[in-house]
Amino acid sequence: MPTTTRQPPSQYMLQLDSLRALAVLAVLIHHFYPASGSLGLGYYGVRLFFVLSGFLITGILLDSRNRTEQTGQGKISAWCQFYARRALRIIPVYYVALLLAMVAGNTDVLSGAWWYATYTSNLLFIKLGFYPSTTAHLWSLAVEAQFYLIWPFVMLCMAKQLILWAIALTIVAAPVYRYFAILGSHAGVEFYTFTLSSIDSLGWGSLLAWLIHNKRDIPGLQSTGRGLLLFLPMVTPLLMETTYFYVFDNTLLSLAFIWLVAGAAKGFTGPVGTIMNWKPLLYIGKISYGVYLYHLFMPWVLYGVWGITKPEHILVNMVMLMISTIFVASLSWHVLEKPINRLKKYFPYSGATPERHKSPASHHNIRDWDFQQNYSITK
């Protein structure tokens, strides 16, 4: 069983990037190697992304709230700082990808341009009743964007004693929605892409951030997550015929991922730590947003726009598409995303010190971790 140790802040950041890499590689394998579909790798990858996002966003917002209260800076300012940094990270490259697709004549984007431009593609897919081939993955970005619209107000403005209740509501609301969706025979596209259906993953990540921020713990939470991570793959085939599996599978899977996120935040050691600190994995994690954004466009670009002959062997096709996607994402990171990210220096978090990391000696426990200093989701 992998162990963890108290690592300096840079280690926290590194291993969370590795989790991003594992999540996006699972999605790529799912989409580029159809034979893996029964494994559900894409589903697992997206849920891990959601848990990570909830964890990081909530931690940053809670830290920002504390800083505004200590410095007397208004919450409106903290709200603006958060959105400015989020917008710089996700919006420019997203719109560049859409624009390039439209210029190249991508009918999926052209026919639903307004939906994609407003981050409501998940609602478009519900309306259509199917996933367009080149944009099927964008629903998860829409869900996260919709979460960003609400969550900063909750974290920054709600009474402190009610924040935990708000987080609990997100965890409970999703399985309740899924249960009534099944009862109402609405278990199609909307069962997976509607915002309420995925909000428990974001909620579990938020709960972990709240616990760390408030130096609290729920006895057995992480051990339960570890057990579920090992147990769920074995029992899933047996439970898939039951209604309750589809109601609670996402909730249980997200709970399992809490152990992974908490472990990576502390820093895995031993063989697992060696893997999690492997530089190629860290790099893929750093560019994972671009990898995810571009990946389903790549078969259309290579085989449709450029007219390259598709390899007959499915593994060769998968490797070629994965390498092409990572190459494009890497180019995008260095040419577009990284330069734009530098503009974040004009929107520092409230009261944040200019140093990227505090001294490792000032951090003795994950519960003392400062999200804004040690890991920025807008990295």
Q: Which of 6-10, 316-320, 363-367 has the highest mean pLDDT?
A: 316-320
224: three-class secondary structure by DSSP: helix
d(CA 138, CA 149): 17
Q: Is the pLDDT of residue 85 over 80?
A: yes
Q: What are the structure tokens assigned to 294, written together?
A: 């571009």
Higher pLDDT, 33 or 11: 33
Q: What are the structure tokens assigned to 114, written together?
A: 């307004």
The CA R_g of the chain, rounded to the nearest whole Å, is: 20
Query: Is the CA virtual torsion 301, 306, 310, 311 positive or negative?
Result: negative
Q: Is the pLDDT of residue 241 over 90?
A: no
Average pLDDT over residues 337-344: 95
Instruction: Of 23-32, 67-76, 328-337, give the lowest mean pLDDT range.
Output: 67-76
Helices (H), 267-351: 270-276, 279-286, 288-294, 297-299, 314-332, 338-341
pLDDT of residue 289: 97
pLDDT of residue 169: 96
Q: Is the pLDDT of residue 9 over 50?
A: no
d(CA 237, CA 225): 19
Taking only the tens place, the pLDDT of each residue in 249-301 is 888 888 889 888 988 988 888 998 999 999 999 999 999 999 999 999 999 99
Higher pLDDT, 175 or 354: 175
Taking only the tens place, the pLDDT of each residue in 205-230 is 999 999 989 887 766 666 666 666 66
Taking only the tens place, the pLDDT of each residue in 309-324 is 999 999 999 999 999 9
Arithmetic mean of pLDDT over the chain: 85
Q: Are 104 and 301 in contact (CB under 8 A)?
A: yes
pLDDT of residue 186: 67
The residues, any chain, with a CB within 8 Å of residue 24's CB and separated by 6 or more, are 45, 49, 284, 285, 288, 291, 292, 295
Q: Where are the domains of the chain?
A: 9-352
The residues, any chain, with a CB within 8 Å of residue 26's CB and separated by 6 or more, are 41, 42, 44, 45, 48
Q: Is the pLDDT of residue 6 over 50?
A: no
Place of tokens 């490259």: 93
Biggest alpha carbon distance in the chain? 63
- For 276, list phi and psi in degrees, rounded to 5: -70, -20
119: three-class secondary structure by DSSP: coil
Taking only the tens place, the pLDDT of each residue in 31-65 is 999 887 767 889 899 999 999 999 999 999 999 99
d(CA 351, CA 78): 10
pLDDT of residue 243: 65
d(CA 233, CA 256): 11
Average pLDDT over residues 157-178: 94
Q: What percent of the chain has pLDDT over 70?
A: 80
Instruction: Of 39-43, 104-108, 148-152, 281-285, give the lowest mean pLDDT range.
Output: 39-43
Taking only the tens place, the pLDDT of each residue in 174-206 is 999 988 888 877 668 888 899 999 999 999 999
d(CA 320, CA 303): 12
pLDDT of residue 191: 85
Single pTM value for the model: 0.88
pLDDT of residue 74: 78
Q: Are 246 and 192 in contact (CB under 8 A)?
A: no
pLDDT of residue 231: 64
Q: Is the pLDDT of residue 308 over 50?
A: yes
Neighbours of 105 (CB within 10 A): 11
Q: Name residue 268's beta-bridge partners.
A: 4
List the one residue out of 35, 69, 19, 86 whose CA is nearest residue 256: 19
195: three-class secondary structure by DSSP: helix
pLDDT of residue 242: 62
d(CA 15, CA 272): 10
Neighbours of 225 (CB within 10 A): 24
Q: Are 345 and 319 in contact (CB under 8 A)?
A: no
pLDDT of residue 36: 77
d(CA 286, CA 288): 6
4: three-class secondary structure by DSSP: strand
pLDDT of residue 216: 78
Q: Is the pLDDT of residue 369 over 60?
A: no
The residues, any chain, with a CB within 8 Å of residue 116's CB and separated by 6 or more, are 98, 109, 124, 135, 138
Taking only the tens place, the pLDDT of each residue in 276-288 is 999 999 999 999 9
- For 119, list phi and psi in degrees, rounded to 5: 55, 45
d(CA 35, CA 119): 30
d(CA 331, CA 149): 30
